[in-house]
Structure 1
Amino acid sequence: MDVTVEVVNEATHEVSVDETATYADLLAAIDYSPQAVSVLVDGSPVPEDQPVGAKSVRVVRLIKGG
Structure 2
Amino acid sequence: MRVTVDVVGEDTHEIELEADGTYADLLEPLEYSRHEVSIVVDGQPVPEDQSVEVDRVQVLRLVQGG
Question: Structure 2 length as normaliser, TM-score?
Answer: 0.95
What value does the CA root-mean-square deviation take over the aligned residues?
0.7
**How many residues end up aligned between the 2 structures?**
66
Structure 2 unpaired stretches of 5+: none
Percent of residue pairs identical: 55
Off by >4 Å, runs of 4+ in structure 1? none
Equivalent-residue separation in structure 2 for 1:44 and 1:17 (angstroms):
21
Partner of 2:16 in structure 1?
A: 16
Structure 1 unpaired stretches of 5+: none
- Provide, for residues 34-62 of structure 1, a one-character-per-residue CA deviation record: whole Å limited to 9, x for no partner: 11000000110000000111100000000
Question: Structure 1 length as normaliser, TM-score?
Answer: 0.95
